[in-house]
Structure 1
Amino acid sequence: MGMDFGAAPLIAFDVLDLLGAFAFGLSGALVAVRRDFDVVGIAVLACCTAFGGGLIRDVLIGDIPPVAFTDLRYLVTALVAALVVFLWHPPERVRRVPLTLVDAMGLGLYCVTGAVKAASFGLGPVPSALMGVTTAVGGGMLRDVLAGLQPSVLRRDSELYALPALVGAGAASLLFYTGAYNWWTGALAALGAIVLRLLAVRYHWSAPRALRRQGGES
């Protein structure tokens, strides 16, 4: 079963998905620069971050071969992002701010498009939302592993990461199944996830950890 929603929602999907690929491409390239990778490493990390979550999603929902391998726009988008960062990137002392921003943008955009694509392939609202989360966090996890870092979504000191993606993906899934998904509603769902992620970073909101026994380890 393919993507069967109408022309306008399809355009909305393409625009948001390519914007997500560009944002995550910037994110991967900035991490590569921070880790002092060469031009090849910057391009590889940009592409892996831009494609990683979508590849996992497409394989799981049966969209084979994945769209990243059949639609040249995704490769071009990721490589343009890598080129932008290669030619210009902020100084190291302020690099965390743009990295956090573009990563949040990629997270918000991909959680929406991931959920919508899964829903269009016949998954129910809950599995579609989970596929949205997978799409949103998969690329960042692959980026961090390749860069020799602990993935943000697993770090004990990390601010909320998967939860904003779940909020955006859940909203997108509901929009799709109620027939209300379009450019504006999809963008608003993505914006909600982005804002929640940035607020979590700003105010250091984190998920609760396991309770510890008094006088010993948990």
Structure 2
Amino acid sequence: MRKKTALVATLVVATLTLSGCGKDSKADSDSAKSSVADISTGQVDDPGTVLDRPFTKPDLVLTDTKGQKFDLREQTKGKPTLLFFGYTKCPDVCPLTMSNIAIAEKKLPKADQDKLQVVFVTTDPERDTPAELGKWLPSAGDPSFIGLSGDFPTIQAGARQLGIGIDPATKEKDGTVVSMHGAQVIAFSPKTDEGYVLYGEDTSVDEYAKDLPELVRGEKP
């Protein structure tokens, strides 16, 4: 893939953009500015952006699909991890992202598949109960994917630590419930437990497949 020098503006745009899974909006500018204030980017290896200043893994303690407490930091420590915030009723971006990662993961050797942790945190916890996530993830992604739910303020605060904006779910005039959320996938290194590569919603199966071997080893793709 072609490499180019990344601009801070690239990440600013990525952070500001929210996806309603079929709709587009902008996050609050003050929140977005604070999210990116301490971030600079290194090189972009299309489509993943390698960060010069990696993210600290959020201190998130939520509930998994089995109804058990899941401490994100502790239970993914030392493991290559992909983290995504979305919701099960999403008609496009969320299931496509999970599907693309699942297909790409299957191209890895079995040992590497077992190492990779894919974590889906709901942005619509009122409807996305642990049981609902447990039914949705195997069909949208893979049975090995970890689904997490909890109270919205905790989830929102965790997302903001990564520069990802999410808004409470709202009901449209036609009765449709929409959850506006940033659609970035953050890759965390097994060596440092820091989020060092960011992927946008347009990342394809082939692009994930190319990068996953390096991500599993904690290398820069």
TM-score normalised according to structure 1 size: 0.30
The structure with the largest helix share of the pair is: 1
Going by fraction, where is strand more abundant, 1 or 2? 2
TM-score by length of 2: 0.29
Question: Which structure has the larger Rg over C-alpha atoms?
Answer: 1
Larger relative contact order, structure 1 or 2 (CA cutoff 8 Å, min sep 6)? 2
